[in-house]
Amino acid sequence: MKSLTVIQHTSAEYLGLMEDHFEGRRIRFTYVRPFTEGVAPPHPDAVADGLILLGGGPWGSAGARDLPTLEAEIAVARTCLMVEKPVVGIGLGAQILALAAGGSVEAAPLRFTVDTALRCMEEALNGYLPESWPVAVYGRDRAVPPDYAQVLARAGDGEPALWQIGGNAFGFAGHPGLKVAMVEDLIMEFEEAPADPAPALRDLRAAQRAIEDALVPIMTGLVQLTGLMQPGGE
């Protein structure tokens, strides 16, 4: 049975809707929570069959409010890339992945937006990436993937919504398995929140079913390309 190491940066943001897809494929996942007292980012040798770096709410990586464990997590992600272990970065996690891979980050204020991602290449995610799907971004700063990365989809503002490094590392600008309750909890968890999040919350509620539907093919392609697919699975 395959197992994932998941680094969580806030109490509110977890794998969300992705959990059911991993569990349905008998892929285990273990959360590591460096934001809790006495817990450090995992040593690279302790990462299981793959690494997932989650978002961070108001935490960023471009200098305004950097994640306290940023450098250590960049080192973990860089080691995973070097040994070709699968890495999936989401939001802040995508920024960490970009920095580990030789890319950069762009400073941006904390924001909460719901947009539409448009596929850039038909064969993306083994051909499973939807032509378009809702992408919700809650976070600070933006990942700038390295020049050699493949941009698989872009949001309406042109920002890469999904990009790939090598055969098995992926950066998502927004959480593909986001639940409305997760954003509501993020707003409550921190003293800092985006200005007037109510309109985006309404948009997210309206897009929830479409997010759930799009996650089905996204997870199929993602699991295949990361080598996490079980014998006899999809």
Residue 58 corresponds to which tokens in the numbers above?
A: 């108001």
Which whole number is the average pLDDT over 161-172? 98
Mention every residue, 6+ apart, whose C-beta is less than 8 A from residue 83: none
Tell me the per-residue pLDDT of 89-114, one tens digit each, with 9 for 90 and over.
999 999 999 999 999 999 999 999 99
Structure confidence at residue 233 as a pLDDT band (50, 70, 90): very low
Q: At residue 232, does pLDDT exceed 50? A: no
Cα–Cα distance for residue pair 234/230, rounded to 1 Å: 8
Cα–Cα distance for residue pair 202/43, rounded to 1 Å: 40
Residue 114 corresponds to which tokens in the numbers above?
A: 């719901």
Tell me, what's the pLDDT at 200?
Answer: 98
Tell me, what's the pLDDT at 230?
Answer: 56
Q: What is the percentage of the chain residues whose pLDDT exceeds 90? A: 96
Q: What mean pLDDT is reported for the chain? A: 96
Tell me the per-residue pLDDT of 113-152, one tens digit each, with 9 for 90 and over.
999 999 999 999 999 999 999 999 999 999 999 999 999 9
- Of 100, 233, 231, 113, nearest in space to 170 by CA: 100
